[in-house]
Chain A
Amino acid sequence: GENVEQHPSTLSVQEGDSAVIKCTYSDSASNYFPWYKQELGKGPQLIIDIRSNVGEKKDQRIAVTLNKTAKHFSLHITETQPEDSAVYFCAGAGYSTLTFGKGTMLLVSP
């Protein structure tokens, strides 16, 4: 089955800096890669996703890149704000179900 590795496990940045979280996947059949943000006590919230026929996607301060050959994808957050502080999860999916990474705790200091 699919295996998704996520790095780093924790990331501390100053407000206004950029943050990058990286994931690798094992199953070449996976073709859908969402990113979720989870705040304490809440369920994961879908923030952006990318499909395998696209190399990059951007939504305001958030962007995701995908390298199918290397089987890795990354989340980029620019101009970070304190409210970006949360745990971020990457995931990969082939047919239907998502396999998640272990998460990255992002802390943005004012």
Chain B
Amino acid sequence: GAGVSQTPSNKVTEKGKYVELRCDPISGHTALYWYRQSLGQGPEFLIYFQGTGAADDSGLPNDRFFAVRPEGSVSTLKIQRTERGDSAVYLCASSPSGQREAFFGQGTRLTVV
């Protein structure tokens, strides 16, 4: 596709459940980022991939959060034992190699009830 695609667009889950959020970056972009945005706030960095490897995961809040990008394209953000405080919009962005212009998807709105 032409832009970054995230699925699902909305996800409602019960507290304690496991969720997976998917990101399809722009074709050819080697850098991929996950951010989290709470209501009325700017996006907060979670993790950055360069190719298949996590170059910086310092933003992951705790060990319930994990992300993979096994083939250097699609990425999945995984959240175990979800808590109500995990409710937010999870944004994915991609960037061409060697540049830092980041292009965002529309986000996945996660609601933990």
B102 contacts A103, CB within 8 Å? Answer: no
Chain A residues positioned under 8 Å from B101 (CB to CB): 34, 46, 49
Q: A46-B102, A49-B101 are in contact. Are A102 and B48 (CB under 8 A)?
A: no
**Max chain B CB contacts within 10 Å: which of A44, A49, A91?**
A44
In chain B, what residue has the closest Cβ to A101? B42
A93 close to B (CB within 8 Å): yes
A89 close to B (CB within 8 Å): yes
B45 contacts A99, CB within 8 Å? Answer: yes
B25 close to A (CB within 8 Å): no
B91 contacts A43, CB within 8 Å? Answer: yes
A89 contacts B104, CB within 8 Å? Answer: no
Chain B residues positioned under 8 Å from A49 (CB to CB): 101
B31 close to A (CB within 8 Å): yes
Q: Quick one: which of A44, A97, A102 contacts B56, CB cutoff 8 A?
A: A97
B33 contacts A89, CB within 8 Å? Answer: no
B104 contacts A45, CB within 8 Å? Answer: yes
B111 close to A (CB within 8 Å): no
B44 close to A (CB within 8 Å): yes
Please give the distance in Å from A110's CB to the nearest CB on chain B: 25
Chain B residues positioned under 8 Å from A6 (CB to CB): 42
B103 contacts A46, CB within 8 Å? Answer: yes
Chain A 56-93 interface 0/1 with B at a Cβ cutoff of 8 Å (1 = within): 00000000000000000000000000000000010101
B12 close to A (CB within 8 Å): no
B104 contacts A97, CB within 8 Å? Answer: no
Please give the distance in Å from A25's CB to the nearest CB on chain B: 13
The interface of chain A, by Cβ under 8 A from chain B, is 4, 6, 32, 34, 36, 41-46, 49, 89, 91, 93, 96-103
Q: List 7 A-B contacts (CB under 8 A).
A: A89-B43, A93-B100, A97-B45, A97-B59, A98-B100, A100-B43, A103-B42
Inter-chain pairs besides A34-B100, A43-B105, A98-B33, 6 sampled, C-beta below 8 Å: A43-B91, A43-B104, A44-B91, A89-B42, A89-B43, A103-B40
